[in-house]
Structure 1
């Protein structure tokens, strides 16, 4: 117990890849090329939330439930992306296509983004990387999907952001929807020694 166990996410990076991309085998090993860094995001936007749901049995003899069990779980990773790119646009809209268009009557070529149609949103995998001094951790998310609507504030006095809100999806029964890996500098995570 002590101040050495306090964690401040001084550095953060978020990587997205296709579902099934090989997860990094540890908190500091190089990521496979399929993982793409989303780039810069606002310093106060990175957030994680969990929202479990429970059912309960009540009995006349007790003012408190006599049995409680979890029925659902919901986890979300949110961040406001600063970099407008084709990959980030497709991430925040849940897919879609980017095409290069050459006007038939001449003129400069341009890029066209078409959002995904209903039923064609794509799932992604995610790796969230955090660091504080020499301590490094990664949160590995095998499957997630952008399930929120996209709202842009396009004022002239602030940079416009792309809101990414990833909802975790389930995997095979018994497989965690996410897991964390920590380097040895997180000594407080070492399992207790057995007598």
Structure 2
């Protein structure tokens, strides 16, 4: 079987990326370019080099006396994460970064509206759906994550010489009844290869 030919059209340069969040169970987009359905919220501006989608499967090996190499390898776990640093401070972005929480209006001495953010208590973190949108010219890709949860600590640097960002770190959640994550795209290079014709009798 011949290998793939060199094709620079299959190089992806993410000229534009967006991150969307929604309540778990919100309808996902049907394709890679349709407007995001109601209920999805863009997180806004993010730093230009922080967005990452990581996949880290774990394996165990079986070793035997008859071989210096493993005689069988099997996968025991799968893990995927989303990393991105948010530049826009808002109540909803705080809730996403801290895994939930509550925002209340408080009475202020200056008679103006003030707001109080309270992070979630232990055991009350909420799951969230996520979408990473990647655009390279006419090619669109959407990483869809039906369920994820913020499971890392939050370290916000408050330095005078640069913007303070909110580190969003989401761990993909899964189950046997649905896909933990998937990619939907209009990139023609993803088209399945045509089936081989049946061999002559």
Task: Please indicate the TM-score interval, normalised by the length of the shorter structure.
Answer: over 0.9
CA distance in 1, matches of 2:111, 2:11: 58
Q: CA deviation at 1:67?
A: 0.8
1:5: which partner in 2?
10
CA distance in 2, matches of 1:48, 1:8: 15
Give unmatched runs, 5+ long, in structure 1.
none
Runs of 4+ in 1 over 3 A off after TM superposition: 105-109
1:139-181 CA deviation, whole Å, 9 max, x = no partner? 110000010100011011000000000000012x153210001
1:177-188, aligned counterparts within 5 Å?
Answer: 177-183=180-186, 186-188=187-189
Residues 5/20 of structure 1: CA separation in 2 closer, same or farther (3 Å cut): same
Q: CA deviation at 1:110?
A: 1.1
CA distance in 2, matches of 1:17, 1:23: 9
Q: If you compute each CA radius of gyration, which structure gives the higher value, 1 or 2? A: 2
2:164: which partner in 1?
160
Give unmatched runs, 5+ long, in structure 2.
1-5
Q: CA deviation at 1:51?
A: 1.4
2:155: which partner in 1?
151
Q: CA deviation at 1:193?
A: 1.2
1:24-58 CA deviation, whole Å, 9 max, x = no partner? 10101111120000000000000111111111110
1:7-156, aligned counterparts within 5 Å?
Answer: 7-103=12-108, 107-156=111-160
1:63-95 CA deviation, whole Å, 9 max, x = no partner? 111111100011000000000000000000000
TM-score by length of 1: 0.95
CA distance in 2, matches of 1:126, 1:107: 37
Q: CA RMSD in A?
A: 1.2
CA distance in 2, matches of 1:65, 1:175: 32
TM-score by length of 2: 0.92
Give the number of aligned pairs: 191
